[in-house]
Amino acid sequence: MAENRWNDDEAVRHAGDLGLRVYSSRLLGQDSALVLHGGGNTSVKIRETNRVGEEEEILYVKGSGWDLATIEAAGFTPIRMAHLLKLAKLDRLSDLEMVNELKTQQTLASAPTGSVEAILHAVLPFKFVDHTHADVIVTLTNTDGGLERIRAIYGDAVVIIPYVMPGFDLARRVAERFAAEAGAQTIGMVLMNHGIFSFGDTAKASYERMIDLVNRAEGYLKAQGAWDLPEPGTRPAKEASRLELAGLRQAVSQATGSPMLLRAWQGPADLAFAARDDLDRISQQGPATPDHVIRTKPLPQIGRDVAAYAAAYRAYFETHAPQARTPVRMLDPAPRVILDPELGLLTAGKTAKDCAIGADIYRHTMEIIQRAERLGGWRALPEKDLFDMEYWELEQAKLRKGGKSPLFQGEVALVTGAASGIGLACVESLLARGAAVIGLDLNPAIEGLFHRADFLGIPGDITDRDALRAALEQGVRRFGGLDMLILNAGMFPGGKRIAELDDGLWRQVMAVNLDANLALLRESHPLLRLAPNKGRVLVIGSKNVPAPGPGAAAYSASKAALNQLMRVAALEWGADGIRINSLHPDAVFDTGIWTEEVLQARAAHYGLTVEQYKTKNILKTEVRSRDVAELAAEMCGPLFAKTTAAQVPVDGGNDRVI
């Protein structure tokens, strides 16, 4: 049951009508069965005196870009009611014209643009209006005989509105029907295939009516034996699928025209739903509510091999999106949800957060579909309405306003030795440019290094082949593929002359600095070949490659061999479009091994101050981890699009290298 979260002691802390509007909007937003990811909207009508002393009624309606769960007073847009009510009487108003009216009739210039449902809120003659796309309501209104069921549940307590796409036409339809049908008994309104409204003279009354209406619907589902979901069972997910996933991601990226992330969700309920016999029928209808339309397009089972996936995906894209090839960049229509009986639920998005939101919305949709199937059969919106929604001009305008996307949006980088020093700085530089990053490190702290959707920290030893393969598998399941590889992990044993250098230490240095990188290159190559913007590899080398030092035989030899490996890879992989370059840093002191004491000792050894020691190069400048990382990231970008096998020093200038 939807929980009534209203608390009088809490409520009194929110002053005035707008304060209470904020309070109860958050209560709605915090219940995911009512409101999901920015869905739903609320309003309050308040009388105010304007700058020239006139009293006017103002609609405070949720502004675009705000989420009900976290909304503040500043998230409500004040718009003149008198004008909104006149607009509602027009015969027609295009959606762009409507947005212009909303924008020019707001009384606070800095407020966000009001919700596209603002006129709809204005025409409902109540002080407080609450609107959600509650799961139980979209379940009922997308079921066979939905209208009759809604009538049976609510009688004349709600006005029922057949489906109309959100925008001006819906507001006008509501104004007409509400005036004709509402009475003293009316406490809400149901929009078929869309959601529900409640209203009242106080914030509390409107909120509690929403809870009551939603709970009556849930009670109906339970009474009809349609509430309990099928047992998901315990089917295991398919193993070793990283190439299939990367191939599918390449097809998704090609269809949308830019790199996309792809995440595999393989919980028992995901796998069970994706394996349903009737998947083609139930998954190929419209979404539960227009609010979700952009992200929920399931692709049915299409066989196991990558080529078949790519072909089916492209076919789907072609038939659903002929407009996408016009010069104006249209709202990207490619499916965001892919269902595969063995791989489970897959979500595509430009960011890791979008993939997570897509899964969240589709998991709700799976429950809605399954309950509707138990009730009387899932009947979502016809394709025509869907298409209108996707291409309606507001969405188009939003997209055109989008601006420049980050350099590596939709791309995936893997960094070794990512928990500290240059590796950590590389992670930060790549994240800052919009990449999703997989960080590998021996240090278990890597797992909790960043708490963000676009970072995956995996602890493990890169010299362990099985661990390496498992890490790639895990990374690809999370983000869909691999575009960039930063070979950074390495070890620098203390100074030891050749006369004292034993085989064990030599082998250990070679295993970490050379052999592990060979294995990682070999395992990554098939994934890099599938990178939508072509694969890139960046090797963190060393000044010791061109200018070795005494006492560092194993280190210098391993880095020189790695450098030669880089050059051969450039020759072998050029035909796949994969670029591989290396950086040769020197004297980077802001890393874990260089404590203040060690620095002081080394400086004293040369008769220098720490400052002089740090800037002991031609340019007299200190080279920091961040300097190396920024260059590494840029070398993976378009600036170096035509460069491979380059070796770039990042050492402040060294007379032995020059």
Where do contacts with Zn ion occur on this chain (CB under 5 A)? 195
Q: Which two tokens stand for residue 71?
A: 């909304």
What six digits make up the tokens of 470? 């498992």
Rg of the chain on CA atoms, in Å: 30
**185-195 burial code (b ≥16 CB/10 A, e <16):** ebbbbbbbbbb
Residue with smaller CB distance to Zn ion, 286 or 480: 286
Residue nearer to Zn ion on the CB measure, 63 or 195: 195
- Chain position whose Cβ is nearest to Zn ion: 195
Q: How far is the CB of 285 from Zn ion (least distance, A)?
A: 19
Q: Which is closer to Zn ion, CB of 195 or CB of 481?
A: 195
Q: Between residues 134 and 520, which has the closer beta carbon with respect to Zn ion?
A: 134
Give whichever of 291 and 428 is closer to Zn ion, judged by the CB atom. 291
Residue closer to Zn ion by CB (options 294, 527) is: 294
Q: DSSP string covering 358-415, please? A: HHHHHHHHHHHHHHHHHHT-B----HHHHHHHHH-HHHHHHHHTT-PPPTTTT-EEEE
User: Considering beta carbons, is residue 195 or 259 the nearer one to Zn ion?
Assistant: 195
**Residue 195 or 541: which CB sits closer to Zn ion?**
195
Q: Which of 438, 441, 435 is nearest to 636 (CA)?
A: 435
Compute the distance between CA of residue 206 and CA of residue 592 in angstroms, rounded to an integer: 58
> What minimum distance in Å lies between the beta carbon of 513 and Zn ion?
58
Strand ranges inside 73-117, DSSP E:
76-80
CB of 393 to Zn ion, least distance (A): 18
Assess contact for 114 and 102: CB atoms under 8 A: yes
Strands of the 188-191 sheet, one edge to the other:
76-80, 55-62, 41-49, 128-132, 195-200, 188-191, 158-161
Tell me how far apart the alpha carbons of residues 337 and 288 are, in angstroms, rounded to a whole number: 14
CB of 61 to Zn ion, least distance (A): 12
Cα separations (Å) of 461 from 172, 261, 467, 476, 557? 64, 26, 7, 18, 22
Report in angstroms how near the CB of residue 195 gets to Zn ion at its nearest: 5
Q: In the numeric block, which tokens belong to residue 510? A: 């070679």
Least distance to Zn ion from the beta carbon of 58, Å? Answer: 22
Q: How far is the CB of 117 from Zn ion (least distance, A)?
A: 6
Q: State the nearest-atom distance from the C-beta of 33 to Zn ion, in Å.
A: 16
**What gap in Å lies between CA 529 and CA 247, rounded to an integer?**
10
The secondary structure of 538-577 as a DSSP string is: EEE--TTTTS--TTBHHHHHHHHHHHHHHHHHHHHHGGGT
Which residues are paired to 44 by β-bridges?
Answer: 60, 128
In the complex, the smallest distance separating the C-beta of residue 30 from Zn ion, rounded to whole angstroms, is 18
| Nearest distance, CB of residue 209 and Zn ion, angstroms | 17
CA 138 to chain centre: 24
Of residues 129 and 375, the one with the C-beta less far from Zn ion? 129
Round to whole Å and give the CA distance between 541 and 559.
Answer: 6
Query: What's the closest the beta carbon of residue 374 comes to Zn ion, in angstroms?
Result: 25
In the bound state with Zn ion, the residue whose beta carbon lies nearer, of 190 and 629, is 190
**Beta-ladder partners of 438:** 414, 456
Query: Mapped to the 3 state alphabet, what secondary structure does 5-67 carry?
Result: CCCHHHHCCCCHHHHHHHHHHHHHHCCCCCCCCCCCEEEEEEEEECCCCCEEEEEEEEECCCC
Of 195 and 546, nearer to Zn ion (C-beta) is 195
For Zn ion, which is the closer residue by CB, 38 or 232?
A: 38
- For 386-406, b/e burial (b = at least 16 CB within 10 A) is bbebbebebbbeeeeeeeeee
